[in-house]
């Protein structure tokens, strides 16, 4: 019997997806499989800047050319080698990706949201992706309307758990712990 917990994380830009994944890694010894790691490798090989538009465009290109679930299948394949009891998949952007993960036993999707004002404040403080720290509100909204982000409402409706990340870090961690205990 498989006792592993497979957790997918989806949500709006800068809602706290990476923070949630890191919390599971640090607090529960989860292993984290992230779409952006695959895309970073490709962008680096092509000597392209690691910018949000390049991540979004590369992801959409691969999904269009090789199937909407191509990246999810790559992460599922990579996860098969893991000895961890908790496996976290971050950055699910398409319903077809979700369907690929749902084939894993005990898989659950957590959708993380936060108000636009708070997420935009985070973009001004963040430096993970080149150029993001200087983003205008208009550029932020444009990124949210990129085709790579278009299925967020569908994913939110399909999520097993929804977490609204509007409080302090301790509140967010408590919410995530409560979700994990239910899985």
Question: What is the domain-level CATH number for residue 25?
Answer: 3.40.50.300
Longest dimension (CA), the chain: 50
Instruction: Starting at the earlier edge strand, list the strands of the sheet with 31-34.
Output: 31-34, 86-90, 5-11, 107-113, 161-164
The pLDDT, as a whole number, for residue 133 is: 46
- Average confidence (pLDDT) over 75-101: 93
Question: Which helix (H) or strand (E) covers residue 116, if one does?
Answer: helix 116-125
Q: What backbone phi and psi angles, to 5 degrees, belong to 103?
A: -75, -15
Whether the model clears a pTM of 0.85, i.e. scores above it, the answer is: no
- Average confidence (pLDDT) over 92-98: 91
The pLDDT, as a whole number, for residue 109 is: 98
pLDDT digits (tens, 9 = 90+) for 156-181: 999 999 999 997 899 999 999 999 99
Domain count, the chain: 1
Question: Are 20 and 111 spatial neighbours (Cβ–Cβ below 8 Å)?
Answer: no
- Tell me how long the chain is: 183
pLDDT digits (tens, 9 = 90+) for 128-144: 555 554 567 777 677 67
- Parent domain of 66: 5-182
pLDDT digits (tens, 9 = 90+) for 9-68: 999 888 999 999 999 999 999 999 998 899 999 999 999 999 988 998 999 899 999 999
């Amino acid at each position: 019997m498989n006792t592993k917990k497979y957790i997918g994380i989806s949500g709006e830009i800068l809602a706290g997806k990476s923070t949630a994944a890191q919390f599971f890694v640090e607090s529960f010894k989860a292993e984290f499989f992230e779409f952006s790691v695959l895309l970073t490798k490709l962008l680096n090989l092509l000597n392209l800047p690691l910018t949000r538009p390049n991540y979004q465009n590369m992801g959409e290109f691969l999904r269009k050319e090789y199937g909407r679930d191509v990246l999810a299948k790559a992460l599922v394949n990579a996860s098969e080698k893991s000895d961890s009891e908790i496996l976290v998949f971050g950055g699910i952007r398409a319903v077809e990706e979700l369907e690929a993960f749902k084939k894993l036993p005990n898989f659950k999707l957590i959708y993380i949201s936060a108000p636009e004002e708070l997420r935009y404040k985070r973009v001004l403080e963040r430096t993970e992706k080149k150029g993001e720290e200087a983003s205008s509100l208009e550029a932020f909204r444009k990124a949210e309307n990129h085709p790579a982000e278009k299925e967020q409402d569908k994913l939110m409706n399909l999520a097993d758990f929804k977490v609204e990340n509007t409080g302090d870090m301790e509140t967010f961690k408590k919410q995530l712990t409560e979700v994990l205990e239910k899985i």
